[in-house]
Amino acid sequence: MTSCPTKPYIVGHGSSSEADLDPAYCGGWKDRIAIAAEAGHLRQRGDPAGIAAAGGERKGEGESVKMQDAAQIRSAPIRPLHHTSRLAICYKNFAAHRGISHIGLGVSAMQNARALRAVGYIVEIWPILDASDLTARLAADRETGRLNHHVEVTHVVISAPWIPTLALAQLVHEYPDIEFCVLCHSNIGFLQADPGAIALLRSGGALEQTAPNFHIGANNDKIQTWWLAAYGDPMLLLPNMYPFNSIRHKPQWQGGRLRIGCFGAMRPQKNVLTAAAAALEVGVRLRAQDLEFWTSGGRVEGGAGSIVAAIQQMYLNVPRARWTAQSWASWTDFLMTVGSMDLLLQPSYTEGFNMVTADGIARGIPSVIGDAIDWAPRNWVASCDSAADIANKAIALLHDPGAISEGVQALTAHNRAALLKWERFLAVQP
């Protein structure tokens, strides 16, 4: 369980040290707070003078006033205590909209939930349609909270900025005891495909100044660092996590048919055409009996039409080479497709995490990546704008027996660091 029975989580104002101010420290306000002799109000909320008396006693009106656990204190300016965190990860239910499938946010929510549940957190995943859907779910949870042993939602993470800030403002003021975070899953470059997201993040930053239980966040430190430098506003850092129990080690390619995949949205930022060119070069140089270049298909968006046409022309009438566009499918089916590859190419110009590279590691398939995927092994990185460099790196990885072991180590280290960030947000002592 994720409780802090000896160091309750209290968030107030006027702290004089980083440990006291940071809600990540369950005991940031120490273990006990001085009680004023008058009316039971706090003498100092977070003031060092008030905290200094913790663990002792103070004389008042002829009798000793013993220090009480902060968990017993109830004062209007102090936010409620949560001994057990319960997180709801919300993402837009694109399945309810015909012809649209953003399965990545759902998979991301699922993987983060798996990682947090594995260490004892209570986590739920809520596919929602809009702000009213989220409001209804929170109201239902609060109603259920009247039952014994029910743990109410304490934290809500909204995957990607898409809910109007005005609606969020109503929610955060209606539920001041819940921590809300709108989490951006893209780095700056990918947001050119969604300028509305930038507007929502900026208005969310303004809301954060007036609502202490609301935050904007990012899954990568690149946009987090830039946001603080550009606007002076903080961003929470809640990176993607990708737990795995075992790795499927696939035998190295020994000749014959060669399958190379480049999966993800067919957008210019994903650099799929350069990947297609590199795959073609690899097939020629290795004299593959048959080269199969696989991509995601079935969705035309963000300039995908011209990319598709260019790949078709690139592979037209090329002997022993063909391009296959795999329709978007469930995550489990997609993992089977990934596992059938010999190599993955992910030379993206911009990334927040890149789930496909992690999928590949879990299935024993290495990836040639761009430097935007900064958590993976550095010897997997190639120049995004050079098909030849990508091809060179691809050939090296196809013949590297230690590639997957390096990938596992990198992903494990990333998961460990990411979990610490989530624990700080969920206010559990590291």
Mean of the pLDDT values across residues 14-39?
32
SS (H, E, C) 63-126: EEEECEEHHHCCCCCCCCCCCCCEEEEEEECHHHCCCCCCHHHHHHHHHHHHHHHHCCCEEEEE
Query: Of all residues in the chain, what percent carry a pLDDT higher than 70?
Result: 77
Quote the CA–CA distance of 214 and 176 in Å, as a whole number. 9
Q: Tell me the two tokens of residue 297.
A: 């298909």
Whether residue 288 is predicted with pLDDT greater than 80 in this model: the reply is yes
Taking the domains of the chain in order of start, what are their residue ranges?
18-72, 86-238, 257-413
Six-digit token string for 361? 């590691």
> Rounded to an integer, what distance in angstroms lies between the CA atom of residue 422 and that of residue 238?
6
Give the domain 86-238 fold: Rossmann fold (3.40.50)
What one-letter code names the amino acid at 338? Answer: V
Per the structure block, which two tokens stand in for 253? 């390619």
> Three-state SS across the chain?
CCCCCCCCCCCCCCCCCHHHHCCCCCCCCCCEECECCCCCCECCCCCHHHHHCCCCEEEECCEEEECEEHHHCCCCCCCCCCCCCEEEEEEECHHHCCCCCCHHHHHHHHHHHHHHHHCCCEEEEEEECCHHHHHHHHHHHHHHCCCCCCCCCCEEEEECCCCCHHHHHHHHHHCCCCEEEEEECCCHHHHHHCHHHHHHHHHHHHHHHHCCCEEEEECCHHHHHHHHHHHCCCCEECCCCCCCCCCCCCCCCCCCEEEEEECCCCCHHHCHHHHHHHHHHHHHHCCCCEEEEEEEECCCCCCHHHHHHHHHHHHCCCCCEEEEEEECCCHHHHHHHHHCCCEEEECCCCCCCCHHHHHHHHCCCCEEECCCCCCCCHHHECCCCCHHHHHHHHHHHHCCCCHHHHHHHHHHHHHHHHHHHHHHHCCCCC
CA distance to 283, 292, 306, 322, 353, per residue, from 319 (Å): 10, 11, 23, 8, 36
Q: How many residues does the chain have?
A: 430
Q: Which two tokens stand for residue 305?
A: 């039409």
- The average pLDDT across 80-85 equals 69
Please give the structure tokens belonging to residue 418.
């990411």
pLDDT band, residue 26 (cuts 50/70/90): very low
> What is the model's pLDDT at position 299?
72
Residue 148: per-residue pLDDT = 79
Q: Please, which pLDDT band fits residue 208 given cuts at 50, 70 and 90?
A: very high
pLDDT exceeds cutoff 60 at 149: yes
Query: In this predicted model, what pLDDT tens digit does every residue of 381-398 receive, in sequence order?
Result: 999 999 999 999 999 999
Range in 89-103, 146-160, 211-225, 342-356 with the lowest mean pLDDT:
89-103
Question: What is the distance between the alpha carbons of residues 180 and 153, in angstroms, rounded to a whole number?
Answer: 11
Predicted local distance difference test score (pLDDT) of residue 76? 39
Q: What homologous superfamily does CATH list for 257-413? A: Glycogen Phosphorylase B; (3.40.50.2000)
Q: Do the Cβ atoms of 84 and 122 come closer than 8 Å?
A: yes
Q: What is the pTM of this model?
A: 0.79
Lowest average pLDDT, out of 213-217, 267-271, 299-303, goes to 299-303
Residue 307: partners with Cβ closer than 8 Å, 6 or more residues away: 266, 267, 268, 272, 273
**Is 240 within 8 Å of 108 (Cβ atoms)?**
yes
Has residue 318 got a pLDDT over 60? Answer: yes
Strands 57-60 and 63-66: antiparallel
The span from the CA of 294 to the CA of 24, in Å, is 44
Whether the predicted pLDDT of 60 surpasses 80:
no
Pairwise pLDDT comparison (193 vs 314), residue with the higher score: 314
pLDDT at 18: 35
Is the per-residue pLDDT at 217 higher than 70? yes
| pLDDT of the residue at 381 | 98
